């Protein structure tokens, strides 16, 4: 899989973020209008503080949202801990020692509970937090219909089958197709990887291998913090660790050496950044609407 597609810090434009199916009935833009009218402001306030303190947290929450949605829908199941009869998704191959930001979601939930007790689902909080993480990092912002119900079950088996940094484009297209997403949407959602950092083990074979489609200066730069052996958890940005717009839009606009980082990037990546930005906004709005049933 292409280096800039690797799933370590997010996944998701999401990753980002895929609302595979609803577990909640009809979603609505006004779901909490009467019962918790300030929920979005509360989520944004906590997310703003979290990203200000640690910019990487935005990418982590984005990835968390994607990993939730790709497994049995956007139902908050990734937030569940181990319990009798429940095996947590947190311990899956894709999440153990890499999924992070749970404490931020807990902090948001605590603030929301003070404002409107037992009203807002954790699934909705995560959906809003993931949306806000994108905008706080310089990406687009979209409306999030609400009304998701929290899952009381987890699916570690399905979580173990999340898109992997070691898969080729054929496998990735197949996995996204199984969730009702095409290659163009896969490409757009992959914009999430312009933020956050990746662990060395996830891209070592790319920068130390002999693949012809990787930019040599890029590979050499990444080797500095990712030795041929050891340092598995060393973190490195694959594009930029903080801002979405700084890299993803130029990559979409100009197919220069940076685009060589990607293996078999779908043709949508070569189009103009204005079109791409609009597509990102529209796809994300669609995914978080929760209409992939």
* Cα–Cα distance list, 146 to 6, 124, 230, 242, 280 (Å): 29, 6, 44, 28, 20
Which residues are within 8 A (CB) of 268 and not within 5 positions of it... i.e. 6 or more apart?
A: 183, 184, 187, 188, 276, 279
Which residues are within 8 A (CB) of 212 and not within 5 positions of it... i.e. 6 or more apart?
A: none
Single out the catalytic residue among 67, 90, 148, 206.
67
* Cα–Cα distance list, 124 to 74, 91, 127, 221 (Å): 8, 22, 5, 39
The full 3-state SS of the chain, as one line of letters, equals CCHHHCCCCCCCCCECECCCCCCCCCCECCCCCCCCCCHHHHHHHHHHHHHHHCCHHHHHHHHHHHHHHCCCCCCCHHHCCCECCECCHHHCCCCCCCCCCHHHHHHHHHHHHHHCCCCCCHHHHHHHHHHHHHHHCCCCCCCCCECCCCCCCCCHHHHCCCCCCCCCHHHHHHHHHCCCCCHHHHHHHHHHHHCCCEEHHHHHHHHCCCCCCCCHHHHHHHHCCCCCCCCCCCEECCCCCCCCCCCHHHHHHCCCHHHHHCCCCCHHHHCCHHHHHHHHHHHHHHHHHCCCC
67 is catalytic: yes
* Active site residues per annotation: 67
């Amino acid at each position: 899989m292409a280096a800039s597609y690797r799933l370590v810090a997010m996944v998701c434009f999401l990753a980002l973020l895929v609302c595979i199916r609803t577990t909640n009935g009809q979603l609505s833009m006004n779901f909490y209008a009467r019962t918790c009218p300030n929920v979005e402001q509360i989520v944004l306030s906590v997310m703003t503080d979290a990203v200000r303190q640690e910019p990487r947290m935005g990418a982590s929450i984005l990835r968390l949202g994607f990993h939730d949605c790709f497994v049995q829908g956007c139902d908050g199941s990734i937030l569940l801990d181990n319990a009798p009869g429940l095996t947590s998704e947190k311990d899956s191959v894709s999440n153990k020692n890499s999924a992070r930001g749970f404490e931020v979601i807990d902090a948001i939930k605590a603030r929301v509970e003070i404002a409107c007790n037992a009203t807002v689902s954790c699934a909705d909080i995560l959906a809003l937090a993931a949306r806000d993480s994108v905008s706080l990092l310089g990406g687009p912002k979209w409306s999030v219909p609400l009304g998701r119900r929290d899952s009381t079950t987890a699916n570690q088996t399905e979580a173990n089958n999340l898109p992997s940094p070691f898969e080729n484009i054929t496998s990735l297209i197949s996995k996204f197709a199984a969730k009702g997403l095409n290659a163009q949407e896969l490409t757009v959602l992959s914009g999430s990887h312009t933020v956050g950092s990746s662990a060395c083990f996830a891209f070592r074979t790319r920068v130390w291998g002999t693949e012809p489609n990787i930019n040599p200066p890029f590979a050499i730069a990444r080797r500095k913090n990712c030795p041929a052996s050891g340092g598995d958890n060393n973190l490195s940005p694959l594009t930029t660790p903080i801002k979405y717009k700084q890299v993803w839009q130029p990559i979409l606009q100009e197919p220069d050496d940076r685009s060589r980082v990607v293996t078999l990037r779908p043709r949508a990546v070569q189009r103009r950044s204005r079109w791409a930005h609009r597509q990102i906004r529209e796809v994300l709005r669609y995914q978080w609407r929760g209409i992939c049933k």
